[in-house]
Amino acid sequence: MSDYVIQVKNLNKSFKGAFWEKEKQVLKNVSFSIPKNKTTGFVGNNGSGKTTSIKCLLQFIFKNSGEILFFDQELNIHNKRKIGYLPERPYLYEFFTAYEFLKFHYQLSVSGSKKSNLETNYSAKTEIELMNEKIDNVLNKVGLVNAKSKYLRSFSKGMLQRAGLAQALIHEPELLILDEPMSGLDPDGRMMVKDILKEEKKKGISIFFSSHLLQDMEELCDHLVVINQGEIIYNDDLKKFMSQFPSLEEAFRFKQNEKML
């Protein structure tokens, strides 16, 4: 077992619009690794390829070439169980209440797993109780405990983001992949997400998240991956990137001016 939860090697992806359009290469030989039990930030300008990279990792879009390994294996049903994912601007099933939504995602996440079989060894009632307990805990964690019985269609943007985060956490994953988890949140919401990520990190969960908010990255991350125009230009320790600079923002700005970015 390597020390990395995700390893990406020479990933290439291009898109073609209409048949008369030229193929556009969005990811160019992208290689990076996400260390175990650490928080990794994924940073880059708009359109630099962050979301495309994440979508390639989870096979929502298919790579042209390259290798992607999760826990030293290609993505499969078994290692998907260890992953919690939150997309950018999550659209959720609005016909569900918060409770129904989390119950649905919990059941999907543990269906057919050993974890689920272990739980069924007690009794059916115990498993339901266990699930309800987990749902209550996670709702409490994201501050939605009072909205448990409300339909998601009545939720604000910030509340939907929290519910999305809750579904990523409900099955207690080993790896969290979050695409812009702080976007659309008010200062309280951002603070809450940061606290949750810190808490998960303490538990030894590996976290990989993309963001534009360099201040938050600096506060949360140990490792940094920087992408620019589809190419990885930095993949190492955050402190190393920031050496000689008082903040990540200044380091980023300086390196941009240096035309490094």
Residues forming contacts to another protein in the complex (CB under 8 A) are 15, 55, 58-62, 77-78, 80-81, 83, 85, 87, 90-93, 95-96, 104-105, 107-109, 111-113, 164, 167, 177
* Cβ nearer to another protein, comparing 93 with 122: 93
* 37 vs 113, beta carbon nearer another protein: 113
Instruction: Give least dist CB 24 to another protein, A.
Output: 12
Comparing C-alpha atoms, which of 152, 156, 172, 194 is closest to residue 41?
194
- CB of 38 or CB of 103, closer to another protein: 103
Q: How far is the CB of 244 from another protein (least distance, A)?
A: 39
In terms of CB distance, is 45 or 64 closer to another protein?
64
Partners of residue 14 on adjacent β-strands: 25
The residue behind tokens 């996400």 is: 34
Shortest approach of another protein to residue 17 CB, angstroms?
Answer: 11
Q: What number of residues does the chain have?
A: 261
- Shortest distance, position 44 Cβ to another protein, whole Å: 18
Pairing of strands 65-70, 39-43: unpaired
Q: At closest approach, how far in Å is the CB of 177 from another protein? A: 8
Between 159 and 224, CB nearer to another protein: 159
State which residue, 88 or 237, has the beta carbon closest to another protein: 88
Provide, rounded to whole angstroms, the least separation between the CB of residue 111 and another protein: 4
CB-based burial, 212-242: b 16+ in 10 Å, e otherwise: ebbebbbebbebbbbbbebebebbeebeebb
Task: Centre a 10 Å sphere on the Cβ of residue 37 and count the other Cβ atoms it contains.
Answer: 14
